Amino acid sequence: MRWGDMRRSENIEDRGSSGGFPMGGGGMRVGLGGIVIALIASVLFGVNPLDILSGMEGSAPPPTRSAPSGQGPQTSTPSSDPTKEMVARVVGDTEDVWQALFKQLGRSSYPAPTLVMFSGGVRSACGTASAAVGPFYCPGDGKVYLDTSFFSQLERRFGAPGDFAQAYVVAHEIGHHVQNVLGTMRQFDAQVSRLDERRRNQMQVRLELQADCYAGVWGHFAQRRNLLEAGDVEEGLRAAAAVGDDQIMKRTQGYVVPDAFTHGSAEQRQRWFRRGMESGDPRQCDTFASDN
């Protein structure tokens, strides 16, 4: 992937290790929104949701768009870390693509999210979380949270190496931000509050598959502008399959329980990512109206 030719985002917070906070503690209070985010941040990367919930606090005060004191300012200064620099440029490219797409969809503008890079642990409007949760999006503050050391796990644990595999992860989380801006997450929260666990899981799968499709939409335009190289699309598809619920369950427990899926099978994730890649049209990503 020719990420060096992408525009670097200015909406980057690098908190380093200063974003970490003690985990655990009693008296926790996690509402439906926090549970949804725990799921979004967990099964995608093979972590038990209960481990996430045990590391989350009650609701934080309403966040501001600026970085909290001592946690790293937003910066457009190039990083000496090539992985961090790649992430910042992928985020910048998603901003350009979604800004153009929002105009095509008749929206006034695309409110770009902030991506927070941290090490070890981090506090967000959704609570505190350790690096074990993997990358996640918090609709409470409109930020994506990423410990870039996860990419080593993506390669070693999930067998999905490559910079475009990493870009897929980032674009998937940006896809959740798009859902938040478009009101999809709000509608999702309202609907799942009335459902039993099995049907709630089915709705969660649709939410995640749509984020995969949105990641593919970004990839479509990166490919059209010759920013992808030979093998990149295959890297993205391999990563999408590797984090399928069926593949994670096989690795962690040796058997598959379809009713417990919350993110979709390897085949579903590849199919929706591919649909976005081939169409470049977010309107083709209505997983909620599809039989999947």
**Mean pLDDT to the nearest integer, 128-142:** 92
Structure tokens at 131: 């690096």
pLDDT at 45 over 50: no
Give the pLDDT score at 108.
85
pLDDT at 137 over 90: yes
pLDDT at 245 over 50: yes
Spatial CB neighbours of 211, under 8 Å, sequence gap ≥ 6:
172, 173, 175, 176, 178, 179
For the chain, domain boundaries: 3-289
* φ, ψ (nearest 5 deg) of residue 238: -65, -40
Query: Among residues of the chain, what percentage have pLDDT more than 90?
Result: 68
61 vs 156, residue with greater confidence: 156
Of residues 213, 218, 221, the one with CA closest to residue 285: 213
Task: For the chain, give the mean pLDDT.
Answer: 82
What band does 278 get if pLDDT is binned at 50, 70 and 90?
Answer: very high
User: Which amino acid, 53?
Assistant: L
**Mean pLDDT to the nearest integer, 176-190:** 95
Sign of CA dihedral 146, 67, 94, 281: positive
**Mean pLDDT to the nearest integer, 111-120:** 96
pLDDT at 49 over 80: no
What band does 292 get if pLDDT is binned at 50, 70 and 90?
Answer: low
Q: What is the DSSP string of 140-181?
A: TTTEEEE-TTHHHHHHHTT---SHHHHHHHHHHHHHHHHHHH
Q: 110-119, 152-161, 206-215 — which is least confidently predicted? A: 152-161
Give the pLDDT score at 30.
21
